[in-house]
Copies of this chain bind each other. A is one copy, B any other.
Amino acid sequence: MTNLSYPPKRVLMGPGPSDVHSRVLQAMARPTVGHLDPYFVELMDDTKRLLKYAFKTDNELTFPVSAPGSAGMETCFANLIEQGDKVIVLQNGVFGGRMKENVVRMGGECILQETPWGEAVQPSALEELLNDHDDVKIVAFVHAETSTGALSDAQALSKVAHKFGCLVIVDTVTSLAGSELLVDEWELDAVYSGSQKCLSCTPGISPVTFSQRAINKIKSRKTPCQSWFLDLNLVMGYWGEASKRSYHHTAPVNALYGFHESLVMLHEEGLENSWKRHIEMHEKLIAGLESIGLKALVKKQDRIPQLNAVLFDSAIDEAAIRTKLLNQYDLEIGAGLGPFAGKIWRIGLMGTSASLSNVNHCINSLKSLLP
């Protein structure tokens, strides 16, 4: 029938998924109910409430997209862009490139501003660009670039964009619950994240939130959204007011049990405590890495605590070391992507993975394998 064995128990310190707490795993195994069951409607409401807490927002349109982070990204771009709209994408890594792909496929005109990988995107550069281009509708950028570990100033970028009347789309896949993120105070308009990073849920769910400005734009579209599955004018009827809910698609009931449990756990710890824990573990990790001769790629003030890009001696066989970490220590760390392939490791400290035992296991394991 199948030769597949039981999965190994890994320590997940790559760019995600992160370690999933047994409470979340057990929640996934709760009895399935129908997606229109009164119990499921309660689950949806409680999930929205907890998610607003995590995003620091009162946005009514705050919910988990029934698919991975890439679909959350596409939800933002597909709903906000109409044919010919000018969109500025500020790229400083892989995921900015994916934003550009989204703009082009939605029929938008992409103005790409490239910042060296590993550096934060500069608000002053955005201001120059907006002075040079008329009629830009949207500015899109990545808050915490998972491919390099650089954190940009989302508040300052948003302020510049709004000065020019633009909406902002922000990728918070790696920042949500790990770094300070204040959706309402920073006036972010369309924000997407992933379940498998600092929320430490299983992968497959993409939380999103939309400001009233974004909703106004979506409701006044002249052409329908290119995607039926991701069309917020339809999805709003499903995730909107409980009394008016109409069938759109069949939600991933059990995945949402797990997602809800991860939000309950975040609320129990407290959002600010979670941010603080990520910084504390990051500092211990960096100190440990430096003690064995490894250095961070990103300069200190731009580092994302939960995603540590690490430079190593180019003489080592980095892929062999990652394989040994996995096989001998059940430890997963991430490889570099794009121009950083073979040049950096990406060590994640996300959600449950941001623990002292993980930091120690990582440092000791690496120490034993480095020449």
Contact = CB atoms under 8 A, between A and B. Distances in A.
Contacts of A268: 1
Listed residue (A10, A250, A264) with the most chain B CB atoms within 10 angstroms of its CB: A250
A332 B1 CA distance: 32
Contacts of A332: 33-34, 37
Interface in A77-130: 78, 98, 101-102, 104-106
B66 A251 contact: no
Contacts of A6: 30
A12 interface: yes
B4 A43 contact: yes
Contacts of A26: 29
Size category of the A interface is 35 or more
B253 A202 contact: yes
Interface in A1-16: 1-10, 12, 14, 16
When all copies of this chain in the complex are counted, the total is: 2
A25 B29 contact: yes
Contacts of A73: 229
Contacts of A104: 224
A188 interface: no
Interface string A27-54: 0111111110111001100100010000
Contacts of A249: 68-71
B71 A229 contact: yes
Contacts of A34: 10, 12, 14, 17, 332
A105 B225 contact: yes
Interface string A246-276: 0111111111011010001001100000000
A97 to B, nearest CB: 11
A206 to B, nearest CB: 10
